[in-house]
């Protein structure tokens, strides 16, 4: 977001970057999790839900384990959800479930039950809550290589990135994650990032730093006037 604001003409020296915080959950051992992938969020095309469905279907054709299921959680009274349901009625994809909008406790329980969560957005996201909640649950993330999602995932060990909008690339990434990655280790890294980089205490410290900086600048401006 800060980079986009700079590209839009705002001075970099007057911008501060304070990531969203998240409250850590109690991670569930991977031995107790289901062979499950989840998407949690708005059921709209710009969120990449059709790309995810395409990718899951491609992965199925390429030999994805029959036990793996894909769960979409989000409001089904949207045009995006209607399009997804129409596609599933026209061509059933085994293992796909649409559970609708669920409360916070159910969302956390769903993420804790999964091996992976997916954030397949087609547009720039300002650090999606679903991504941070996944880290807080110790659940690795597969996300579009775009904007803040790249910032959270790239080089941190918390998950994997794929080309935005590319269902084939996402299918390959899903297969790779489920067959060639130590997801438990990745989940530990995800939880560590949630507790550290996106912890509440660090967020408060950053806010206090910004306020202190503003106060110092105002004092400096007042002194120069006098």
pLDDT of residue 213: 78
Length of the chain: 226
Count Cβ atoms within 10 A of the Cβ of residue 39 and give its class: 0-12 exposed, 13-18 middle, 19 or more buried: buried
pLDDT of residue 1: 63
pLDDT of residue 137: 98
Distance CA 53, CA 49 (A): 6
Weakly modelled stretches of the chain, pLDDT under 50: none
CA angle 99/21/174 to nearest 5° reads 45
Helix (H) or strand (E) holding 30: none
Of 194, 126, 124, 125, the residue nearest 159 (C-alpha): 194
pLDDT of residue 2: 64
pLDDT of residue 217: 75
What mean pLDDT is reported for the chain? 91
pLDDT of residue 225: 55
């Amino acid at each position: 977001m800060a980079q986009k604001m700079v590209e839009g003409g705002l001075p970099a020296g007057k911008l501060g970057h304070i990531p969203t915080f998240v409250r850590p959950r109690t991670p569930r051992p991977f031995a107790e999790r289901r062979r499950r992938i989840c998407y949690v969020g708005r059921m709209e095309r710009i969120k990449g839900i059709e790309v995810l469905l395409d990718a899951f279907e491609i992965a199925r054709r390429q030999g994805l384990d029959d036990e793996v299921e894909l769960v979409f959680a989000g409001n089904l009274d949207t045009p995006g959800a209607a399009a997804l349901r129409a596609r599933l009625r026209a061509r059933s994809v085994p293992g796909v479930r649409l559970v609708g909008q669920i409360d916070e406790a159910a969302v956390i329980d769903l993420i804790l039950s999964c091996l992976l969560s997916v954030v397949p957005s087609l547009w720039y996201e300002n650090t999606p809550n679903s991504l941070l909640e996944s880290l807080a649950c110790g659940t690795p993330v597969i996300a579009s290589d775009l904007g803040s999602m790249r910032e959270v995932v790239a080089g941190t060990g918390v998950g994997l990135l794929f080309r935005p909008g590319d269902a084939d690339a996402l299918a390959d990434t899903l297969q790779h994650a489920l067959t060639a990655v130590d997801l438990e280790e990745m989940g530990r890294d995800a939880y560590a990032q949630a507790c550290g980089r996106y912890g509440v205490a660090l967020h408060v410290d950053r806010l206090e730093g910004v306020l202190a900086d503003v106060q110092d600048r105002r004092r400096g401006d007042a002194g120069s006037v006098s």
